């Protein structure tokens, strides 16, 4: 009897392996996972956060004798994770069971689309991506059963989403995608003489990249300033993306062609020429327009520049200090700075306008980081910049079970008068294997510190699947140690929105202390977006252009949730 059972099991196994091999022969070849042309949807909107004045205080001990602190000064801003290879892991593990989705991706104008991306986000927050081959074929799976929203996209084509009901067995399902081309507008720059402007601008020593010169597409008239431009000029701004001529695999245009703008939403729209967040020129376009020309001379750029003045002094007696100052787009030193002599005078000449970060460093003093707004052609005098002796925060990060854990931390200054938190942006620290952490070089004051997630590979500094609540620490008198942060596993909250309106509504999740725990956009990256929140009660606040549109209470447990904002008051699609 036993031998009969063994023989039946062996027969079933052989049949499964044969059938699986035949299925693989029928499917197009698998391609490597990657982000493809669909842009990441984890970038959250930023804001200053109102905090309840009744935050719990942390009872900690003060240690002014921490001599070992100097060895901890080199905390990394974006830590990398070392992967461990298990040599004992089996090499013949059978593939997971589930349905496989396959098909062909083509254009409405005919022809297969190579390197198109098919992606889906599972209920636990994991995202799967595959690329199509030279014949437009793709396959993705095995996939868990149930309803899945599948998205297909390609460069210069509109994304297409399709909801697919997946069975529980090893079915082979076909789902083809036909993608519609996006509007691509060529942008030419001409001097007032009618000649191409780019050679003359370069001859005048104008760095277009440092200036942030970029054509931007928006649904509506942007006004006189456009502050969304940050980082690479190829980032998505407004309702489009700029691609410089001859760069990023794009063909080179003529001598007057600066590049192209690809609109991810159909016109009518506006194309504006933006430099240092200033709208220099703009034109309204219809959905058929393929060329925009702007007139730009070196004098137009030079008239934008201004200067910044200040004086660096000691917090104890107001005496001037020698220092080093940086003024730029980022809130950390980027490149050589300005050497400030012993008189403390700071003088930045020939500065482009817009929001800039001023960073001042002096020996034995906490780094001063301040955001300033420089108008066109303005001389901005900041007066005294007061530098204090630094303090530091130290403590441990543990799991809910009390085990130490490596985690990524963030911190922000809390203003008692305004009850606002100014989180340090693009600055992170990491706890060690024993859970200990140290955040040095802070100005005296009240700080909020939070374990924001587990370490992840760049460009994401942390994994949002684990997080602690923020803790308030009073370091106005001296350094503080003994801070305890407890990590909780987060739950994926999927937000759905049928609208495709720009500017997109932003959703902020506030915890019971009134602190913003997470944020995302509705509609910017498709019908679905996600928040990762720890268990507890939250308020979801929907805002557009700073105006609150809706507020919902949310209780988060261990099970993933879906929230539909498609019919929410005040945020219906502008297409209606």
Residues 411-421: b if buried by 16+ CB within 10 A, e if exposed:
bbbbeeeeeeb
pLDDT in tens, 28-63: 333 333 333 333 333 455 444 444 333 333 333 333
Fold adopted by 98-304: Immunoglobulin-like (2.60.40)
Cα distances (angstroms) measured from residue 383 to each of 70, 323, 328: 32, 15, 19
Q: In 3-state terms, what secondary structure has residue 425?
A: coil
Classify 523 in phi/psi space as left (phi over 0), alpha (psi -120 to 50) or beta: left
Classify 297 in phi/psi space as left (phi over 0), alpha (psi -120 to 50) or beta: beta
Cα distances (angstroms) measured from residue 236 to each of 282, 324, 568: 18, 34, 26
pLDDT in tens, 464-499: 889 998 899 999 999 999 999 999 999 999 998 877
Tokens of 477: 């008198």
**E-strand stretches of 332-390:** 338-340, 345-351, 354-361, 368-374, 379-387
The closest alpha carbon to 409, from 437, 428, 424, 392, belongs to 428
The closest alpha carbon to 170, from 209, 202, 144, 131, belongs to 144
- Positive or negative torsion for Cα 20, 21, 26, 30: positive
| Cα–Cα distance measured from residue 250 to residue 260, given in angstroms and rounded to the nearest whole number | 9
The domains of the chain are located at 49-74+390-489, 98-304, 306-387, 491-564
Q: Which helix (H) or strand (E) holds 470?
A: none
pLDDT at 555: 95
pTM to 2 decimal places? 0.58
Residues 254-292: b if buried by 16+ CB within 10 A, e if exposed:
eebbbbbbbbbbebebbbbbbbbbbbbbbbebeeebeeb
In terms of Cβ atoms closer than 10 Å to its own Cβ (0-12, 13-18, 19+), residue 253 is: middle
The total of other beta-carbon atoms located within 10 Å of residue 244's CB is 19
Q: Using only the alpha carbons of the chain, give its radius of gyration.
A: 27
- Bond preceding residue 517 cis, omega within 30 of 0: no
Per CATH, the number for 49-74+390-489 is 2.60.40.10
Q: Do domains 98-304 and 491-564 have the same CATH topology?
A: yes
State CA 78 to chain mean position distance.
14
Q: What are phi and psi of 136, to 5 degrees?
A: 80, 5
The total of other beta-carbon atoms located within 10 Å of residue 315's CB is 14
The closest alpha carbon to 171, from 154, 153, 148, 190, belongs to 148
Tokens of 7: 């023989």
Fold adopted by 491-564: Immunoglobulin-like (2.60.40)
**Inter-residue contact 23 to 100 (CB < 8 Å):** yes
Cα distances (angstroms) measured from residue 407 to each of 413, 435, 461, 510: 20, 8, 10, 21
**Inter-residue contact 284 to 185 (CB < 8 Å):** no
The closest alpha carbon to 418, from 394, 393, 445, belongs to 445
**Inter-residue contact 111 to 153 (CB < 8 Å):** no
Q: Which helix (H) or strand (E) holds 145?
A: none
**Inter-residue contact 497 to 459 (CB < 8 Å):** no
Q: Which helix (H) or strand (E) holds 259?
A: strand 257-263
% helix / strand / coil in the chain, to the nearest 5?
10, 45, 45
Half-sphere exposure of 246 (CA within 13 A, CB side): 7
Q: Which helix (H) or strand (E) holds 12?
A: helix 2-26
Per CATH, the number for 306-387 is 2.60.40.10
Q: In 3-state terms, what secondary structure has residue 474?
A: strand
pLDDT along the chain (576 residues), means of 10: 44 43 35 33 44 37 34 33 34 62 93 93 77 95 85 91 84 92 94 93 84 91 88 87 81 88 88 92 94 94 91 95 92 87 95 88 93 89 96 96 94 85 83 96 93 84 88 94 95 85 82 85 83 92 86 93 72 40
């Amino acid at each position: 009897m036993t031998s009969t059972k063994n023989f039946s099991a062996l027969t079933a196994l052989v049949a499964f392996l044969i059938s699986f091999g035949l299925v693989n022969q029928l499917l197009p070849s698998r391609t490597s996972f990657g982000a493809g042309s669909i842009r990441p949807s984890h970038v959250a909107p930023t804001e200053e956060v109102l905090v309840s004045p009744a935050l719990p205080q942390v009872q900690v001990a003060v240690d002014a004798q921490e001599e070992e602190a100097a060895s901890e000064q080199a905390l990394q801003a974006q830590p990398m994770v070392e992967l461990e290879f298990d040599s004992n892991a089996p090499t013949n593990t059978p593939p997971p069971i589930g349905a496989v989705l396959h098909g062909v991706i083509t254009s409405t104008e005919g022809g297969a689309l190579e390197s198109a991306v098919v992606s889906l986000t599972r209920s636990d927050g994991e995202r799967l991506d595959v690329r199509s081959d030279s014949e437009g074929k793709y396959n993705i799976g095995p996939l868990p059963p149930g309803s899945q929203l599948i998205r297909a996209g390609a460069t210069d084509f509109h994304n297409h989403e399709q909801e697919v009901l997946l069975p529980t067995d090893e079915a082979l399902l076909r789902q083809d995608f036909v993608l519609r081309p996006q509007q691509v507008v060529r942008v030419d720059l001409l001097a007032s003489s009618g000649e191409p402007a780019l050679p003359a601008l370069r001859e005048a020593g104008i760095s277009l990249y440092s200036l942030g010169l970029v054509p931007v597409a928006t649904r509506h008239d942007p006004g006189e300033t456009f502050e969304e431009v940050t980082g690479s000029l190829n980032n998505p701004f407004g309702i489009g993306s700029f691609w410089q001529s001859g760069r990023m695999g794009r063909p080179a245009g003529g001598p007057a062609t600066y590049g192209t703008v690809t609109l991810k939403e159909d016109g009518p729209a506006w194309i504006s020429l933006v430099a240092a967040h200033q709208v220099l020129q703009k034109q309204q376009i219809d959905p058929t327009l393929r060329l925009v020309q702007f007139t730009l001379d070196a004098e137009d750029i030079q008239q934008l520049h201004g200067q910044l003045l200040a004086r660096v002094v000691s917090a104890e007696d107001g005496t001037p200090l020698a220092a080093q100052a940086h003024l730029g787009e980022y809130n950390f030193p980027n490149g050589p700075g300005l050497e400030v002599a012993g008189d403390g005078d700071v003088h930045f000449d020939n500065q482009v306008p817009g929001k800039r970060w001023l960073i001042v460093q002096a020996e034995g003093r906490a780094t001063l980081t301040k955001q300033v707004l420089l108008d066109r052609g303005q001389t901005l005098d900041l007066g005294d910049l007061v530098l204090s002796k630094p303090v530091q925060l130290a403590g441990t990060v543990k799991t809910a079970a009390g085990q130490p854990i490596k985690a990524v931390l963030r911190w922000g200054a809390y203003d008692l008068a305004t009850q606002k938190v100014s989180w340090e942006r693009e600055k992170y620290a990491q706890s060690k294997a024993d859970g200990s952490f140290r955040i040095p070089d802070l100005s005296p004051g009240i700080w909020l510190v939070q374990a924001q997630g587990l370490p992840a590979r760049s460009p994401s500094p942390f994994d949002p699947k684990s997080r602690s609540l923020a803790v308030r620490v009073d370091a106005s008198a001296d350094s503080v140690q003994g801070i305890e942060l407890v990590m909780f596993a987060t739950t994926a909250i999927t937000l759905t929105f049928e609208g495709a309106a720009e500017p997109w509504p932003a959703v902020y999740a506030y915890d019971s202390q009134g602190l913003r725990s997470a944020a995302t956009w509705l509609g910017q990256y498709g019908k679905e977006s996600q928040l990762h929140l720890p268990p507890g009660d939250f308020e979801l606040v929907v805002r557009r252009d700073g105006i609150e549109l809706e507020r919902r209470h949310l209780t988060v447990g261990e099970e993933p949730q879906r929230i539909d904002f498609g019919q929410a008051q005040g945020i219906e699609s502008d297409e209606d």
